[in-house]
Structure 1
């Protein structure tokens, strides 16, 4: 099936910062996807928190399983819309590469610690990883991804600068994003491609669905609680009508797959209507529309706000979760200044970066790269070893 005129055409890519010959059997965006999957940072996601710290249970989502689910949703939506599924998948797989250990808790700590040194943002850190920190290729640092994939990582959530930028992020650009943009203009004041917008909405779909699953499994709330919510309540009612007496786990799965399906169908329906009305003829038409083309309908968006508010209070800020958050914040809060004051504690392979750091800001960025790259388990173990204390969170057998 041919791609839509507003899709990113692999033959029209703006290329790579370090020119490479074309593959004889893979498109440029397929190569990006494959390089991301084979990266060290991608493998580390299997031991990084989504909501629950990695060791707390085998069935909870990690950043890796979350990223795979996002990629699956992105491929589905982009395929229906005749977009470039390979590019959408690559951006989806890369979107969380820059996350710290302990999920948003670790990121909050890192943002605070790095405030004097140019800030920290996980999207910007993902760019730093794929342009600098992955060091496996002979001809360049990073993965040498295409411009379109880098653009998608940088601004899949919308413009970063200019009048359409998210005002929650006013202020100077995080240094990691500024460095990449200085080397190769990512046009941060425009929206990203439709494929990147699909990756962003796929992230929303995936976590809205799987956080309900994980919250139920954890016992932080019950199916009866979800019966009171929009989207989820009608899904359970439909399952009860069609399959009366279904056992608890099957009932749960059947209901939540309907929640998942409704979100995906809504996004596709809205996108088809908006694309039909706007009639974009190129990917640049998408970038300069001044608004997102891929989004939820207003009614579903309002219903999902209620679901997310419920998750915020009953899951993300549950007392048991907050207790663990406080403990793992201590890990980041103590490791960062320790390495900053004693950079010789960093592993030997990091010492060349330490030697190249000309001032405290440059050194802090090296330390941030190291700490942000840690997995949950490794950060807890290193904190215990270096501080001479028991692990702040039990790691089990």
Structure 2
């Protein structure tokens, strides 16, 4: 690892874990957190969870696991350049989607509707719930007992009500008062490592969803060329390789365009972030938390990426075929929820249940942890219906 800047998270200055543990002899606290995530049940399940396309629709489409690995790779590369803590960035990146439901955002929306009267459901908060409560691996505590800095980075979004509940709960743990949700109540930012992961996540899905969309046939190169940001790099790629327009070279043209676009997004973040750091000159992590956002796109790139996101939302995420699939997926989640609430014994859980939560929250936790294919099998078992031909 390169030398850490003073505003990076220093592993020997971590705010610690909720349950005290002896230091590992060969690993820093953040390396230990990363390893715990990689060995967790929730992480393994990501391989069969939807990114955009349901797992059985194609072997080469990205899943939540491959997306998380791509975010980790981008994050580590940028962290190294900026003198930030690579291990912490990797930890946050690998954990950021642990709370995602089966069937991606359709599953999340369906579960949120089911839980509307019981506190709702949000996948980002669920990721924290996974590492704090739901993983059952250690004899002395629930969850993975991650460091404060890892947990802070995982909690990307949080409503005021949820933040208040988290802060009340964390007050019971020595050294954790003013915890991971404090910034959602009082303002402020998380660490630079957490901010960096947010941008790496956005870069990864903006670029790689294009790849999957074209591979699926729902997007075409001609459509993508209508987007100014994409067209800029497609023209740049074509100027370097004149035969890219030939039919048998289209895939290479797409790859090279995405590569150039992704690289420029990364360099743009690095340049804009360095400018912010030069301007505000934070000298510690606490300075970072008290400052405005420091890891960011330039204004021009931000506007262009927003235009790209609007295009993908309209032409890919809201494509008729995707919407039909997601409608069926929401039906699966909703009917599973009702079936388990009506008959909790149908939940064949290996781990002991958490006793101090409602039945609905137990059902929500159970469904959120499912892979796509397990949810489909359970739905067919409980309803006799097969909504997808796998």
**TM bracket (short chain):** over 0.9
Q: For each residue in 1:115-138, what CA deviation from the matched residue of structure 2 results, as whole angstroms up to 9, or x when unmatched?
A: 111121111111111011111112
For normalisation by structure 2, the TM-score amounts to: 0.93
Tell me what 2:199 maps to. 201
Tell me what 2:378 maps to. 382
Tell me what 1:251 maps to. 253
CA contact (8 A) 1:49 1:62 kept: yes
CA contact (8 A) 1:119 1:174 kept: no
Tell me what 2:263 maps to. 261
Task: Quote the offset at 1:238 in angstroms.
Answer: 1.0
Tell me what 2:230 maps to. 232
Q: Secondary structure at the match of 1:231?
A: helix
RMSD of aligned C-alpha atoms? 1.6
C-alpha spacing 1:176/1:251, structure 2 compared with 1 (3 Å): farther
Task: Quote the offset at 1:306 in angstroms.
Answer: 1.1
Task: Write the distance in 1 (CA, Å) between the matches of 2:116 and 2:320.
Answer: 28
Task: Write the distance in 2 (CA, Å) between the matches of 1:343 and 1:48.
Answer: 24
Unaligned runs of 5+ in 2: none
Q: For each residue in 1:301-341, what CA deviation from the matched residue of structure 2 results, as whole angstroms up to 9, or x when unmatched?
A: 11111111110111000000000011011001101011111
Task: Write the distance in 2 (CA, Å) between the matches of 1:236 and 1:349.
Answer: 50
Task: Write the distance in 1 (CA, Å) between the matches of 2:336 and 2:35.
Answer: 33
- Return the match for 1:373 from 353, 369, 374: 369
Aligned residue runs from structure 1 range 46-195, under 5 A: 46-155=47-156, 160=158, 169=159, 172-173=161-162, 177=166, 181-183=170-172, 184=176, 185-186=179-180, 187-188=182-183, 189=186, 190-195=188-193
Q: Secondary structure at the match of 1:245?
A: helix
Tell me what 1:288 maps to. 290
Aligned residue runs from structure 1 range 273-352, under 5 A: 273-289=275-291, 291-349=292-350, 352=352
| Displaced runs of 4 or more, over 6 A | none
Tell me what 1:20 maps to. 21
Task: Quote the offset at 1:230 in angstroms.
Answer: 2.0
Is 1:363 the counterpart of 2:359? The answer is yes
Unaligned runs of 5+ in 1: 161-168
Is 1:4 the counterpart of 2:5? The answer is yes
Task: Write the distance in 1 (CA, Å) between the matches of 2:170 and 2:96.
Answer: 17
C-alpha spacing 1:119/1:174, structure 2 compared with 1 (3 Å): farther
Q: Secondary structure at the match of 1:293?
A: coil
Number of residue-to-residue matches in the alignment: 376
For normalisation by structure 1, the TM-score amounts to: 0.91
Task: Quote the offset at 1:42 in angstroms.
Answer: 0.4
